[in-house]
Structure 1
């Protein structure tokens, strides 16, 4: 049974799930042009939890777990174990007093909204509201309350709408199922987050539980892989977001060219580590490695506010998800890096909280100013904004 790390902050954790429909946009991931864009959204928030309260299971719907297991060649019987694992969150718990900064967390391709629960729960325990999204077409499987399921795209189709493929074509407004996607899939997914922000504003005014607790003047975004592409593009087009953390992902051409005006933290690894992962278990081809590394460096070098580049060469791509603790097969078949998974989680969490505390709470952190003896495996480069 997976064991999620104990959050270290002073807050307990509540969670609440929503089904939102954006009536202004068509759904490109179905064949019916009349379908509107729908999202399944989970909000985790600082809470007052009764002693011995029952916590929610890791996965409510087995469909996402089954897709995830098939993608990484994990035996199907492990899915039921993943689904039964208990988290530290209590459904619809009474919120803690106060207003809390809000962090949006778009998921990676083929993931699900709590695929990096180690990250989410830690942030909430330190006084943040975290919003996770199942975005139809890119989440492993988006399951709606009425039982409808939108599966993820097949990977070759998905890659045709990503920045690397678009950089080699003159067509910058591809079409999917009759829906134009100017700039490819990333700008469309960014609009999911902007729509979610409008819904969060309504929750802060009217929700029976969360009204008065969501401080949407202190907004940040964090994500890895596909989520790491979405976050910087969101910050480029929407100045309401005040801090951006991106993990193991490239960027859109626009982000690489212009940088960001918000503080940004990039967490990744050297190209040599990416190649090492590929040699052990498969991974990114050489052109994707080159695109990822070069666009990260451009984002770091061209950003206008404070910028941080963290290199963690003992981590592989899936070490920034819960995958290494869901089954030991991740390490055995080479999909997890040589670092102890819980140490990788702890390092990621330490720098994430330090970053958002500094830029959303005004709490200066020495961890962001120089290399830390606590984390010798982390290489930190810092640029002070103009």
Structure 2
């Protein structure tokens, strides 16, 4: 083997190991790089052995080259499937700031405290407009305890677009406030793509996290409260019934949390970062999945909320039967309305899932008959397309055929249009009323052909 071949091996070795070393120094090493690192080290050792002992077998040279390439390809593939992703850049005129605030509700006990001696406590996340353009970017997972081990450990390296704790941007008029409430076992950061976008357009967004619901509620003093909610409702009739019962109890707990935060908003607005720049007369709410149910129920029982969005959530509580009088937008994933045949016994997992789908259609129909409202169906989407989850892996995070970035762009556009109209009085062409002559009452936006939008007028008294 001539010197040029040794040089090829050396160059390939450096090309594989050097970028990994740089990532390690930056604190960005992740398990996806392990195949390339392992093969790179084997290649380095092989190069030294071949050179030192003047081994000239072409086969060994080819094996060494092939090993290096296989490791690099494997790491590239794994990094593609499990990326250290970036969030879409917010499109508003403001930069985004974020901070967390610890609140204690001294009127309630913490249900998940085994000793039942502590008060109900919440850690909320606030996203808000700022004019600062430099600073430390907030991590996606704020506490190291939340970083998963194994396959999704790379999430600990993900940064958001928001800056940590800059002052709020000064404005001529205070900013409307929007509350975000997450899914069944969701965290306050699960819709960061949406909270950042709203903040960049001049809204203050407050993300809630509900202890007893999330797997781990982590407090500033290091205390951890563990939740044990089951999401099984399809395995048996008993599981189906139990989930409905637990859902009603969770709804009470979460609406109490929402009302507690509403009560504390005047105090939160006085925080040194916010300088009383909250418009406390214009408050909206949105949520994903069960968070959408909590948003709807909160609107039904609290008039301080002026508008709400339910993103692909079944309704519970009084809102399931009677709705709410505030302007309301439903966003739905792309699933057909179950037929009578789909709902016939015998009961089985698919049939139970179909039953909840049918209830969703019935609940929205009833809401629109009683109060009017808006209905958006995102074609090609699945349940998790209304959250950050599809960004976490390209294998399966319950996203549909639509690309995660495209779904996020559409969700953000309609969210901004809705809250801009309802909390600021801004014109919203995306929400334009369908003419009465249209029998199917559907309108597809030229900007977003994947969005099937329906605008139901408020019924006459």
Q: Same fold (TM over 0.5)?
A: yes
Counterpart selection for 1:300 from 342, 361, 368:
368
Counterpart selection for 1:199 from 241, 255, 264:
264
- Are residues 1:378 and 2:460 paired? no
Superposition CA RMSD, Å:
2.6
Q: Which residue of 1 aligns with 2:425?
A: 362
Q: Which residue of 2 aligns with 1:69?
A: none
Q: Distance in 2 between matches of 1:273 and 1:46?
A: 40
Greater strand content: 1
Q: Which residue of 2 aligns with 1:36?
A: 119
- Are residues 1:185 and 2:247 paired? no
> By how many angstroms is 1:269 displaced?
3.0
Q: Any residues of structure 2 matched to 1:71-86 within 5 Å, and which?
A: 76-86=149-159
> By how many angstroms is 1:270 displaced?
4.8
Q: Indicate how the Cα distance of structure 1 residues 143 and 310 shifts in structure 2: closer, same or farther if over 3 A, else same.
A: same
Structure 1, unmatched stretches of 5+, are 67-75, 175-180, 276-281
Q: Which residue of 1 aligns with 2:346?
A: none
Q: Which residue of 2 aligns with 1:70?
A: none
**Structure 1 residues 371-380 or 286-295, which shifts more?**
286-295
Deviations 1:182-206 (A, max 9, x none): x5220221010111112221122x3
Q: Any residues of structure 2 matched to 1:287-326 within 5 Å, and which?
A: 287-303=355-371, 306-326=372-392
The answer as to whether partners of 2:328 and 2:373 remain within 8 angstroms in 1 is: yes
Q: Distance in 2 between matches of 1:56 and 1:300?
A: 40
Counterpart selection for 2:409 from 338, 346, 363:
346
- Are residues 1:219 and 2:294 paired? no
Q: Indicate how the Cα distance of structure 1 residues 210 and 186 shifts in structure 2: closer, same or farther if over 3 A, else same.
A: same
The higher radius of gyration belongs to 2
Q: Distance in 2 between matches of 1:49 and 1:232?
A: 35
| TM-score normalised per structure 1 | 0.84
Q: Distance in 1 between matches of 2:370 and 2:316?
A: 14
> By how many angstroms is 1:221 displaced?
0.2
Q: Indicate how the Cα distance of structure 1 residues 325 and 273 shifts in structure 2: closer, same or farther if over 3 A, else same.
A: farther
Q: Which residue of 2 aligns with 1:71?
A: none
Q: Distance in 1 between matches of 2:126 and 2:252?
A: 23
Q: Any residues of structure 2 matched to 1:142-157 within 5 Å, and which?
A: 142-155=217-230
Q: How many residues align?
A: 350
Q: Which residue of 2 aligns with 1:279?
A: none
User: What SS is found at the alignment partner of 1:56?
Assistant: strand
Q: Which residue of 2 aligns with 1:141?
A: 216
Tell me which stretches of 4 or more aligned residues in structure 1 moved more than 4 Å.
156-159, 166-169
Deviations 1:119-138 (A, max 9, x none): 11111111100001111011
> By how many angstroms is 1:152 displaced?
2.4
Q: Any residues of structure 2 matched to 1:98-117 within 5 Å, and which?
A: 98=171, 99-117=174-192
User: What SS is found at the alignment partner of 2:422?
Assistant: helix
Counterpart selection for 1:330 from 375, 396, 400:
396
Q: Distance in 2 between matches of 1:90 and 1:340?
A: 27
Larger RCO (CA under 8 A, 6+ residues apart): 1
| TM-score normalised per structure 2 | 0.71
User: What SS is found at the alignment partner of 1:42?
Assistant: strand
The answer as to whether partners of 2:138 and 2:162 remain within 8 angstroms in 1 is: yes
